[in-house]
Structure 1
Amino acid sequence: MSGKKGNSLFMYIVSLLLAAGLILTGCASGNGSTTEIKTTNTDKQSGKQKENVVKIGYQKNGPLVILKGLGTLEKRLEPEGYKVEWKEFTSGPALMEALNGGSINFGRTGDSPPIFAQAANTPFVYVAAGKSKFKGSGILVHKDSRIKSLADLKGKKIGFAKGSSAHYLLVKGLEKAGISYGDIQPSFLQPGDARVAFEQGNIDAWAIWDPFTADTEIHSNARLLKDGEGLTTDRDFFLANTEFEKNNSELIDIMIDEIQKSAEWANSHHDELVAMLSPLLKIDEKSLLKSAQRRDYGLDQLTKQIISEQQEIADTYVELGIIPKKINVMDVVDQERMAKE
């Protein structure tokens, strides 16, 4: 056999073997989905099995910190193959930005941050509402202040976090007293900075929420001029990234169920609750107990009335020029989770 013929025969045999290998590989792939699942759930570079992770944004003063502290969500999701990654935020607007950027899948804020986020086209949906907590939110003044009524706020310098639930509460308080928003001196401050400004007398009043309200009443010579009753329902809202919600409806059901269970625990275990929160918030137990006693933790199913409350907040911000355009809150509500009315 000549060299050329030998080489040709060798190449022919190799070609047959390669073709047979491809056919066998195709058959093995077609026998079931096991291979596909492993490939999908494996990091191609490291070859290690990937873990499913749900990323939750929380604030230390919000109800999700209770769920985190109890550790019950992790236990519930472990058999489902999920791990929980918690990310802390100092404010609702920052949490909404993370939801927009995809660094978290799920989170909770007060009533105003989702409205600003929707106006900025953030992809999210409302999945549940918290119970009203207006008793612990309000406008604080110094005990010896000459401010005795909402009407006395005219011309005063008032601290609050821009785009927060306290922002709306203040707007409604001024409206109730017949005062224009332009008749006050707004001072946009996050809670920590506002507390310092209040104690130093750099602001005349402070619109804020619990547990900061209670802590300031007890330790900073403050008087609650007006709580949120008749001004706002001041609800928490639980929100999910739009794409995450589309693909993880059952997972969100589990999360909502565990949030409700942790809320029920909080309502019936005030002593344990304040012991858990005190080191986290660096607020004494007396203040936290005062806060817990005037709040009912828990969830409400989304209803037309609750969405109407949100729409009123959004419309108010449009009228004041605080957000640039009119929005329809119902556009970003998970319709499958709305109460059947």
Structure 2
Amino acid sequence: MRNWPGRALALAMAGFLLGLGALPAAQARDKVFRIAFQKGGGNLIFLKERGILEQKLAPLGWTVSWNEFQAGPQLLESLNIGAADFGPVGEAPPIFAQAAGATIVYAGYEPASPRNEAIIVPKDSPIKTIADLRKKRVALNKGSNVNYFLVRALEANGLTYQDIEPVYLAPADARAAFERGAVDAWVIWDPYYAAAETGLGARSIADATGLAANVSFYIASRPIAEANPKVLETVLTAIDEIDGWIKDNRKQYAAELSPKIGLPADIIERSVNRAELGAGRVDAAVLSEQQKIADVFTRLKLIPKAINVLDAEWKTE
């Protein structure tokens, strides 16, 4: 799990949140659990294709609907306009959303997978190290997980965010810019990362190991989480179960997922081999690490105000 400008985001999100007031009543009426997912979220795609969640939620009187998004910020936007109830994102998007007043909770998470995101350059680029990024154009999805990774990578190598020229692009646009040489480097996550390695011969100058944990979160709208905890717990259990199957069957997973998302199996296998799997409930230690990221974004004025991540904790009796 993974762009919104800080102040602009706050203004935009304020409008989105106006529609949330009627959400609990609507949910109680139609009992449709609306899942937003990302292209790289193969575990959710497997649940969708196999109808597993539909089977597990039917005894509770719920059906399921699905909608795909390119990245975490856009996915969270759908939660905040009341168009979705649940979805996976990276570490940064929920911080930006919370700073803008989003009514969300951290429902669950996947283990840290720092090798699933990297700073990449074209194969013939003279850039060899992060220090070489000074005064270079670096593409990234602002407000996504790689935003924090880039900040940490720069600071660990004696640079600041002001030493580069960030170019804020969603993954598809960033790939196009990267391919035609309009940017010097691209900070990206799997499967886009693996696709650039395989299809473009892109070269990684650093992954997030030792810099950013790259934890994927499952975020839910607070109204749905508080009113229907059993539904949310059932969904998280199903995700953990499919994660266990994927962990033991990575090659088969890649082969089966390939035609579903239009990516070659070798790209998917490369991505999943870098990943840690196993969904669980968010605990205090995980939220403590999230607070560190939020504090960095506050210091850099990437979010409009300081936040307390614990305010978005999902509490059940």
TM-score scaled by length of structure 1: 0.81
Does the Cα contact within 8 Å between 2:140 and 2:167 map onto a contact in 1? Answer: yes
Does the Cα contact within 8 Å between 2:236 and 2:280 map onto a contact in 1? Answer: no
For 2:263, the equivalent position in structure 1 comes to 283
Tell me the percent identity: 39
1:51 Cα deviation after fit = 5.1
One-letter amino acid matched to 2:70: T
The structure with the larger Rg is 1
Structure 2 residue 129 is the aligned partner of structure 1 residue 133: no
1:268 Cα deviation after fit = 1.5
| CA deviations over 1:200-233 (Å, ceiling 9, x no partner) | 1111111000111111111102111101101111
Query: Which of 169, 172, 175 is the matching residue for 1:192?
Result: 172
Structure 2 residue 304 is the aligned partner of structure 1 residue 327: no
Separation in 2, partners of 1:132, 1:70: 26
Structure 2 residue 181 is the aligned partner of structure 1 residue 201: yes
Query: Which structure carries more relative contact order (alpha carbon 8 Å, separation 6+)?
Result: 2
Query: Which of 39, 48, 51 is the matching residue for 1:71?
Result: 51
Does the Cα contact within 8 Å between 2:70 and 2:171 map onto a contact in 1? Answer: no
Structure 2 residue 247 is the aligned partner of structure 1 residue 250: no
Query: Which of 152, 156, 180 is the matching residue for 1:172?
Result: 152
One-letter amino acid matched to 1:251: V
For 1:15, the equivalent position in structure 2 comes to none
Query: Which of 66, 72, 80 is the matching residue for 1:86?
Result: 66
Please give the residue correspondences for 1:24-173 in structure 2 after superposition, counting only pairs within 5 Å: 52-62=31-41, 63-173=43-153
1:281 Cα deviation after fit = 3.0
For 1:267, the equivalent position in structure 2 comes to 247
Cα distance, 1:187–1:153 mapped onto 2, change above 3 Å? same
List gaps (5 residues or longer) in structure 1: 1-40, 42-49
1:292 Cα deviation after fit = 1.2
TM-score scaled by length of structure 2: 0.87
Question: After the TM superposition, which segments of 4 or more aligned residues of structure 1 sit over 6 Å from their partners?
Answer: none
Query: SS at 2:210's partner residue?
Result: coil
1:309 Cα deviation after fit = 1.4
Please give the residue correspondences for 1:308-327 in structure 2 after superposition, counting only pairs within 5 Å: 308-327=288-307
One-letter amino acid matched to 1:53: V
Separation in 1, partners of 2:297, 2:88: 21
1:66 Cα deviation after fit = 2.8
Does the Cα contact within 8 Å between 1:157 and 1:204 map onto a contact in 2? Answer: yes
Separation in 2, partners of 1:165, 1:189: 13
Separation in 1, partners of 2:123, 2:67: 37
Please give the residue correspondences for 1:213-224 in structure 2 after superposition, counting only pairs within 5 Å: 213-224=193-204
Query: SS at 2:218's partner residue?
Result: strand
Separation in 2, partners of 1:178, 1:65: 40
Query: SS at 1:335's partner residue?
Result: coil
Does the Cα contact within 8 Å between 1:169 and 1:228 map onto a contact in 2? Answer: yes
For 2:8, the equivalent position in structure 1 comes to none
Q: CA RMSD in A?
A: 1.6
List gaps (5 residues or longer) in structure 2: 1-24
For 1:225, the equivalent position in structure 2 comes to 205
Does the Cα contact within 8 Å between 1:60 and 1:280 map onto a contact in 2? Answer: no
One-letter amino acid matched to 1:123: T
One-letter amino acid matched to 1:101: I
| CA deviations over 1:66-114 (Å, ceiling 9, x no partner) | 3222321111112222110112222211221221121111111111110
Number of aligned residue pairs: give it: 289
One-letter amino acid matched to 1:216: A
